[in-house]
Structure 1
Amino acid sequence: MWDPVTDKPRPGTLHLALVNAVHNGDSEALAKLLKAKKPGCTPADRNSAGETPLMLAAAADHAACIDALVDAGADVRERDIHGRTALHVACRQGRLAAADALLRCGANPDTRDLSQFTCLHIAAREGLDKVCDLLCRHNAVVDAPVAEQGWTPLMLAANGGHATTCAVLLQHGADDAKTVKSDTSATRFTVHQLIGRGRMTGGGMDPELDEEVKEVFRSRGEGVHAGLRPGDEKQLDASAAARRRVAAGAK
C-alpha cells in the first residue's frame, strides 16, 4: 500500500466491521473477517489516515487482535505517514499488553520514526515506566541517541521530570555520563534543563518533580565526576527554592 512516488502509504478505506471488531477487541469476529478477505478486511489495508488494522489494535491495547492479525499476515514492520510502527503507537499511548504482544511477534524496539525516535525514546519522554522496562527486557538499546540532538532516553525522561522512569533506565544500564553533541553528560544536561525552568516565571514543572529527578542522580553518588561542574548543584538548589516560592505564592 505504499505509493512509490510519494514514498508514503496510500490512503484507503477499512471495512467498518473490521474497525469495530478491532476497537471492541473481538478477535473471533476479526479472524472471520480476515479469513473472508473482503475489500477493506485484509491486514494490508489502511484507513484514510494511513493506519493499518495492526496499528488500530495497538492503540486499543487488544493483544488477541494483534495475534489474529499477525496470524493472517500482518507485518509488524509497516509504518504510518510519520514513520511509526504499531509498536511506536503502543508505546506512545502506554499500551503495555499490545506492546508485549508486538514484541513477541518480532517487532523491533529500535526502529526509528521520521523524527528518529525509537520506541524507548517515546516511552521515556512520556514517563511510562512499565513500557520502558518491557522494552529494555526485550533488548532495546538503552542509550540510543536521537540523531540530531544526541539525546538519550535517560535525558528525555529526566528532562520531563520522570524520576521513576530515570530509575528504571538506570537499572537497565543507562549511562548517565553519556554525552550529547555539546559534550554534556546526561546528568549535566538534566541539571541545566531544570535550572533553565527555574528561571522561567509563571509556573512550569512541579518543583517536587525536579527534586525527585535530582535525587535519582544524587543517590548514585554522582557529582562532578558524572559531568556536574562546581556550582551546578548550588544553582539547582536555588532554582528549586525559587520555584517553591512561586508555587507557594500561587496558592
Structure 2
Amino acid sequence: MSSSCGGGKHDSLDESRMDSGIDSYQSMYKSEEPRNVSSDFSGPRDKFLSVDERLDSAYGSTSLTVESLGEIVKSCSISPPDPEAPQEEENPLTTITEDGDTMLHLAIIHEDENIAQQLIDIFPKEVLDIQNDLYQSPLHLAVYLDQPEVVRSLVESGASLDLQDRDGNTALHVACQHGQTQCVSHMTRDLSTTKLAPVLETHNWRGLACLHLAALFGQHEVFKLLRKKGAELNIQDGTSGKTPLHFAVELHDVALVTLLLSWGVNVDAAMFNGCTPLHLAVGRQDAHIANLLCQSGADKMLRNMEDETPLDLADGNDDILALFPFDDIHISGRSVVGVNY
C-alpha cells in the first residue's frame, strides 16, 4: 500500500515515511523542551518554571519584582514630551527592556492582572501592540497565561489580532490550540465575519490555521464558537492541504468527525496528493469512521495522485470491505452485495 494516505499494512508508523503527517505535526508541539515563559509557548503552562524561579526576558541583572512594578505604575504617567523642559530621568513606563518587553509584557508575565489593567488604561494602542524580541505582543502573553480579563481589556482597547509571534501564531492560534474558550470568545465577540476571516485564514509557519490547531488538540468547543462566527470549516493547511476533517479522521476523533459532518463540511475534500478523508480512514483501518463518511455520502471511487481509491487501501479488512458494494467482493465466501451492516 502507498504511504500517502495512512497506516494500511503497517500498524506502527515509521518516522521515515511521510504517511499522513499527523504524528509529526503533534510531535512538533509536544516534544519541545520547556524554556522560559517569555520564549516558548508551544506547550501547556504547567510545563514552565514557577513565577519565582523563571528567568523571563526582562530580568537579566535587574531586581524587578511584582511590588516594584506596582510602585512604578503609581509614580509614573504617560505625557507628551516637552522640548523646552529640562532633561529628566527616563520614564520607566515608556522604556523597553533589552529583550523588547514593555512594562505591560512584564505585568502579564508576573500574572499581576491589576497592574496589567492599569497599564492598558494608560498606554495608547501603539504600545499595546509592541512585540518583544520573540515577536510576542502583550495579547499573546495574556492568552498563553490564560488571563481572559486582560485579553478582554486588550481587545476592547484596540490590540491587534493580526500580529504573529516567532512561530507565526496569532494570539487566536494560541487560544485555539489550548482550548481557551473564554479568550477565544473575547477576541471574536465584537468582530464581524468579514473582519475576523483574515485572522482565521492566517497560517502559522507550519502551515496551520486556527481550526487546524483546534482539530489537532481536540478542542471541540473552539469549533463551535468559531463556526458561529462564520469560520471556513473546509480550510486547507498550507503544507499538505488537509482540512480539519482530515485531521479529525487521522486522530480517530469520532466526536469531531461526527460534529463536522453534521455541519455539512466537504466530505470529499482532497489533500494536495488527492487523498480524501475516506482514503485516510481506510488507510488507518478505521472502519467506524469510514462508515460515518460513507453514510455522509463520501465518494468511494475517487482516486488520489497514486491512482488509488479508498478500496485499494482496505488491505483485506472485512469491516471496511463491507462498505464497498462491488459484486466481486466476498467475505467468508459470501458476497457482501445487498448485505446490510
Do the structures match in fold with TM over 0.5? yes
Q: For residue 146 of structure 2, what is the aligned residue in structure 1? A: 61
Q: Which moved more, 1:59-68 or 1:72-81?
A: 59-68
Aligned-pair distance for 1:48?
Answer: 4.5
Between structure 1 and structure 2, the one with the greater Rg is: 2
- Do the aligned partners of 2:287 and 2:319 also contact (CA within 8 Å) in 1? no
CA distance in 1, matches of 2:271, 2:185: 30
- Do the aligned partners of 2:203 and 2:238 also contact (CA within 8 Å) in 1? no
CA distance in 2, matches of 1:213, 1:61: 34
- Do the aligned partners of 1:177 and 1:185 also contact (CA within 8 Å) in 2? yes
Q: For residue 292 of structure 2, what is the aligned residue in structure 1? A: 216
The 1:229/1:158 distance shift into structure 2, 3 A limit, reads closer
Aligned-pair distance for 1:44?
Answer: 2.1
2:12 counterpart of 1:12:
no
CA distance in 2, matches of 1:70, 1:140: 19
The 1:235/1:121 distance shift into structure 2, 3 A limit, reads farther
Aligned match for 2:241, one of 141, 150, 157: 150
Q: For residue 36 of structure 1, what is the aligned residue in structure 2? A: 122
SS state at 2:200 partner: coil
Q: For residue 209 of structure 2, what is the aligned residue in structure 1? A: 118
The 1:83/1:221 distance shift into structure 2, 3 A limit, reads closer
Aligned length: 209
The 1:220/1:71 distance shift into structure 2, 3 A limit, reads closer
Aligned-pair distance for 1:47?
Answer: 4.0
Query: Where does the alignment leave 5 or more consecutive residues of structure 2 unmatched?
Result: 1-97, 304-308, 321-341
Deviations 1:56-113 (A, max 9, x none): 2222333321121123331111111122111001001111111111112434322222
Q: For residue 224 of structure 2, what is the aligned residue in structure 1? A: 133
The 1:47/1:156 distance shift into structure 2, 3 A limit, reads same
Within 5 Å, give how 1:61-210 maps onto structure 2: 61-106=146-191, 107=196, 108-192=199-283, 194-195=284-285, 210=286
CA distance in 2, matches of 1:185, 1:117: 18
- Do the aligned partners of 2:235 and 2:244 also contact (CA within 8 Å) in 1? yes
CA distance in 1, matches of 2:299, 2:122: 63
- Do the aligned partners of 2:100 and 2:131 also contact (CA within 8 Å) in 1? yes
- Name the % identity: 23
Counterpart of 1:101, as a letter, is H
Give the structure, 1 or 2, with the largest relative contact order (CA under 8 Å, sep 6 or more): 2
CA distance in 2, matches of 1:151, 1:186: 9
Aligned-pair distance for 1:55?
Answer: 1.0
Aligned-pair distance for 1:150?
Answer: 1.5
CA distance in 2, matches of 1:226, 1:172: 22
The 1:105/1:114 distance shift into structure 2, 3 A limit, reads farther
- Do the aligned partners of 1:94 and 1:123 also contact (CA within 8 Å) in 2? yes
